[in-house]
Structure 1
Amino acid sequence: MKAGYKLDKVIFKLREGDKASSHNQCSIGGRWIEKTTDDFFKNRRVVLFSLPGAFTPTCSSLQLPGFENYCERFKKLGIDEIYCCSVNDAYTMNAWAEKMRIKNVKLIPDGNGYFTKQMGMLISKDHLGFGNRSWRYMAVITDGIVEKWWEEPGINNEGSDDDPYTETMPEKCLEYLAAGSE
């Protein structure tokens, strides 16, 4: 992926309004909604990061909470929204956001991997029982066009359990944004 890439239209399937009466029950009763890349990226400057999966170790202990914790700093540097995209279904993404108490980062379910494939980051994790997943990447996207791109080294398909987390940390994006605002 390179700066200047214009996002193609992709439809995302989200769930809205699901509720559970206790923590021992699954949230149900809501409705399906569709959003497109335009709904998320048109007329905005956003940070998008993607990761292998909800409820997985690095994603849950470092990456998602890191972006959540820095949300105000991103906003002060001109970012309208922070999005986390993963090849997971809407139910899983909503449950993960609730479990992690995420209030600021918006989670985008890419259950079929269509968006992730467009970004060139769809990989196979069949050897771990995950099926297709996203390789870790991060981008600043302005009005649907990639402004800046980061991805983890050594994209691995089938066979490796490597899960590097050095290039897609929120601090790297904050450094980039701060340098542009000076």
Structure 2
Amino acid sequence: MKAGCALPQVTFHTRVRDDSIEGSNPFRWEDKTTQDYFAGKRVVLFALPGAFTPTCSTFQLPGFDDGFGDFAAVGIDDIYCLSVNDSFVMNKWAEMQGIKNVKTIPDGAGEFTRRMGMLVRKDNLGFGLRSWRYAAVVNDGLIEAWFEEPGLADNHGDDPYGVSSPENVLSWLQEATREQAA
């Protein structure tokens, strides 16, 4: 996937809170499509190898969440975090991280990630199939800018991080905003 490409059309199986459900697990299934998330909005999408993993939990997710105001100031409507994890895992991770601004997208079966060309094997870490780390600025379902970590490969020995960092994506957005204003 590169700038100018349309996002793949898939259905994501999510769990959403429903206060009409009694008990300790007041959630129901709700299918959401690519259109539901991306139509008519300019967003940042970032994908990572897994919820609860060190780089994702320490830097990437909190960095995007804490910087939401800066992203909104340059025309971003929403920020989405996607991982090849199910909705139960993504919801619990967001809750435990205290996330207030980033919305998580569960790609439990990896279908969106596969169609993006970013599905990799992480068997060397015991993970199985996961997403390669990347970020994108997406405008109404079209990729405006692409930030892929180097070395895309199955069972990569490292976990590259920097190209898709919130700081790098925000810097690109700020520069693009300055260029549009000039």
TM bucket by the smaller chain?
over 0.9
Q: CA deviation at 1:18?
A: 6.9
**1:118-177 deviation line (CA, Å, top 9, x unaligned):** 11100011222111000000000000000000110011303x331010101111111111
Counterpart for residue 73 of structure 1: 70
Match of 2:160 in 1: 164
Q: Check whether the contact 1:156–1:162 (CA below 8 A) recurs between aligned residues.
A: no
Distance 2:78 2:7 in 1: 17
For 2:149 and 2:131, the matched residues in 1 are separated by 11
Query: CA–CA distance in 1 between the matches of 2:58 and 2:115?
Result: 27
Query: What is the CA–CA distance in structure 2 between the aligned matches of 1:94 and 1:30, rounded to whole Å?
Result: 10
Residues 12-68 of structure 1 show CA distances to partners (whole Å, capped at 9, x for unaligned) of 00001179xxxxxxx623110000000010000000000000000000001001101
Q: Sequence identity of aligned pairs in percent?
A: 56
Determine helix, strand or coil for the equivalent of 1:181: helix
Partner of residue 104, structure 1: 101
Root-mean-square deviation over aligned CA pairs: 1.5
Gaps of 5+ in 1: 20-26
Q: Which residue number corresponds to residue 16 of structure 2?
A: 16
Q: Secondary structure of the equivalent of 1:79?
A: coil
Kept after mapping to 2: 8 A contact 1:2/1:148: yes
Q: Is the 8 A contact 1:77 1:178 kept in 2?
A: yes
Instruction: Indicate yes or no: 2:169 matched with 1:173.
Output: yes
Displaced runs of 4 or more, over 6 A = none
Aligned letter for 2:57? S
1:59 counterpart (56, 59, 69): 56
What is the identity, as a one-letter code, of the residue corresponding to 2:162?
Answer: T
Indicate the SS of the match to 1:33.
strand
State the AA in 2 paired with 1:151: E
Tell me, yes or no, if the aligned pair for 1:84 and 1:107 is still in contact at 8 Å.
Answer: yes
Write out aligned runs for 1:31-180 (5 A): 31-158=28-155, 160-180=156-176
Please say if residues 18 and 30 of structure 1, whose CA atoms lie closer than 8 Å, have aligned partners that are also in contact: yes
TM-score w.r.t. the length of structure 1 is: 0.92
